[in-house]
Amino acid sequence: MTRRLLLAALAALAMALATHAQDVRVVNGDKYIAHAVRQGETLFGLSRHYAVPLNALLEANPGAAEGLSIGQVILVPVKEQSKKELKTAPRLDDGALVHKVARKETIYGVARKYGITQEDLRRMNPDLQYGIHPGMELRIQVATSTAAPPAAVQPAAQDSARFHLVQPGETLFSLGKNYGLTPDRIKEANGGLPDGLKAGTYLRIPGEQSLTTAVPAVRDTTPAPPPGVHRRIAFLLPFTSTGRDTSASGEGEGQPRSVTDAALEFRAGVGMALDTLEARGLNADVHVFDTGMKPDQWAALFRSDAVRGMDLYIGPFHRAAVESLVRITGDAPVICPVPQSNKVILGNPTVSKAVGSRTDRLKQMARYLAFHHGRDNIMLLKPEIYAERDLQGLMIREMQQALQGTNGRLRDSLLVVSCGRRDVAAAIGKLDPHRPNILIVPSEDVEFITTVLSKFSGLVPKHKITVFGMDSWPSMTTLEVAALVKLNVHVPANANLDYASPRVNDFISAYRAAFHNEPGEYAFLGYDVTLFYVQALMQFGKRFPEHYGEVAAQPIYLEMRMEKLGPENGWSNAAAVVLEYLPEGLVKAK
């Protein structure tokens, strides 16, 4: 199989990902910088680079007590950073620290600062024979430093350990059972875990086999299809865009980061899926094209012969680019791999949308509500917000349709309660003290959502209340997590990661080993989209949309349920899930 262009680009991907903005995460209300360890780096070096005390790093990363491994993710507590020291902190370069000499600094002072000898400093920096001066950059090799314990200055190495992100509710017993280890073995590999098991931190899971430098295959139990003819596959991704793209979604769902970041991460997932498929007999030429995000960029590409004659097109990200592409692709399937409105498939019967629309998500939530809460006191709160009239109307229609025929329901239609942005008294007056109260809040107005959470959380446990919100709520950082948990808030989503799944953990471990970074949403999306649609091509050829229900692929992030929206239109993934806020986090509702 010819994949020269793709594999050459993947070789540089780890470097590209490493240069992007810091990955900041929130664990139990505290912010952490997630740092993927590279060859030669040390815990002491990371401590100096991020201006964080060594003991704070060890507390946040119990697995680091035994030394660092390449690909390991270290959580750096932002609250422990010294703003004063951060201004002059050394940068990292191939495992070494690079110190910029300040005014009045001496060779003796710099050596003492890092716990190394003047001889070691001179050996690493031959230019010091001509003297030291402000602005000069000095390489510091901390492996011989006496300013930290031996384990903290030991360079990161390639080893057989894997790393597990601790989820709320997990125990040493459950982890040991999952990985085939005793709880004591896990404790031993993580410095004894003196502070116990903490959700959000990474544990070192000792192993036997050594990691390879190639992209590891991800475990997949999908049966191999019968051998087929040679195929040509094109991936069209926006690598040259530098700004955020809000037009990628017709529903205001925008990309979480720059489009280039998303494209690079997506392509990493693509490469891993192709390795999985190649092991099952994929016989194809794979071509990767840069469409950019501007019409003049993709128009020039589509005029060339290079992009024509493919059996499958995955991409582009932009709706207008997809609509332009279908004019030259004939009967070949075109896959829109990122969130888009259904407009992208209207009048385009060869186009399939891999990620469902808001309508799909709300329809799934309505079905869930009718099935689990059809006999409860269901109210839909409708604030007088002009911009949200369409969203409110859509949710009302979906709920009324889902509730039709629900046995034991006291009223046939949905109870819609008008509210103000800061006034939900009318809804409070309709709470039932004897039955569960289900509040549907089809709103993205932060002021109104905050009012709902504040007013109704104060009525628990006197009233049993569950709130159903929108898919955008998890990204609203100003919402009080305590109130979301107290009201057992449910939200719809297109996908969900089950961190208890061995296949999900295999993917995460393989991604870290290959790219020295943590996989994000677009890495999982790239893997699942490639796995599902290329598998479909392998089984059924270009007519695979007629056999969507028979595709033998097992995505790890997306659920796939393809539906055709009329004879003149394309296909959309109608699958969705409902997530709920529990004390242990946002998880798939039972």
Distance CA 167, CA 202 (A): 10
DSSP 118: H
Indicate whether 567 belongs to any domain: yes
Q: What number is the average pLDDT over the span 291-302?
A: 90
One domain for residues 241 and 311: yes
Residue with the bigger pLDDT between 52 and 205: it is: 52
Is the backbone peptide bond immediately before 53 cis, with ω within 30 degrees of 0?
Answer: no
Same domain, 365 and 484: yes
Domain boundary among 465, 493, 521: 493
Which pLDDT tens digit goes with each residue over 2-50?
444 454 444 444 444 444 446 677 777 788 888 888 878 899 999 999 9
Report the alpha-carbon distance of residue 163 to residue 125 in Å, rounded: 36
Q: Are residues 200 and 153 in the same domain?
A: no
pLDDT in tens, 210-221: 323 344 455 554
Q: Please list, in sequence order, all residues whose beta carbon lies within 8 angstroms of the beta carbon of residue 587, skipping any fewer than 6 positions away.
A: 496, 579, 580
For residues 349 and 259, membership in a common domain is answered with yes
346 and 370 both lie in a single domain: no
| 193 and 275 co-located in one domain | no
CATH of the domain at 279: 3.40.50.2300
Neighbours of 12 (CB within 10 A): 10
Same domain, 133 and 50: yes
With tokens 């939200």, the residue in question is 491
Residue 109: pLDDT over 50: yes
Is residue 183 in some structural domain? yes
- pLDDT at residue 168 in the model: 67
Alpha-carbon separation of residue 288 from 36, 237, 531 (angstroms): 27, 8, 16
Whether residues 153 and 168 share a domain: the answer is no
256 — pLDDT class (breaks 50, 70, 90): very low
Last residue of a domain, one of 158, 185, 219: 158
Q: What is the model's pLDDT at position 15?
A: 43
- Answer yes or no: do 197 and 119 share one domain: no
Q: In which band, very low, low, confident or very high, does the pLDDT at 409 lie, cut at 50, 70 and 90?
A: low
- The pLDDT of residue 137: 94
Whole domain around residue 180: which residue ranges?
A: 160-210
Statement to judge: residues 382 and 480 lie in one domain: yes
Find how far residue 470's CA is from the centre of its chain.
19
Q: How far apart are CA 242 and CA 261, in angstroms?
A: 9
Residue 357 confidence (pLDDT) above 60 = yes
In a domain, 579, yes or no: no
Q: Would 588 be classed as within a structural domain?
A: no
Q: How many Cβ atoms from other residues are within 10 Å of residue 278's Cβ?
A: 15
CATH number at residue 127: 3.10.350.10
Q: How confident is the model at residue 407 (pLDDT cuts 50, 70, 90)?
A: low
Mean pLDDT to the nearest integer, 471-500: 90
The answer to whether residue 1 is domain-embedded is no
Are 379 and 427 contained in the same domain? yes
What backbone torsions phi and psi does residue 353 show, to the nearest 5 degrees?
-105, 115
Q: Same structural domain for residues 370 and 487?
A: yes
Phi-psi region of 480 (alpha: psi -120 to 50; beta: other; left: phi over 0): beta
Residue 5 lies inside a defined structural domain of this protein: no
Residue 413 CA to residue 406 CA, distance in Å, equals: 10
pLDDT reported for residue 2: 44
Number of domains in the chain: 4
Say whether pLDDT at 198 is over 50.
Answer: yes
**Cβ(534)–Cβ(228) below 8 Å:** no
Q: For the residues 432-445, what does the mean pLDDT come to?
A: 94
CA distances from 263 to 13, 180, 275, 523 (A): 11, 36, 19, 9
pLDDT digits (tens, 9 = 90+) for 549-580: 888 888 999 988 899 888 889 999 988 889 99
The confidence score (pLDDT) of residue 45 equals 93
Looking at the domain assignment, is residue 139 inside a domain? yes
Tell whether 444 is covered by a domain. Answer: yes
With cut-offs at 50, 70 and 90, classify the pLDDT of residue 274: very high
User: Which of 129, 158, 187 is where one domain is finished?
Assistant: 158
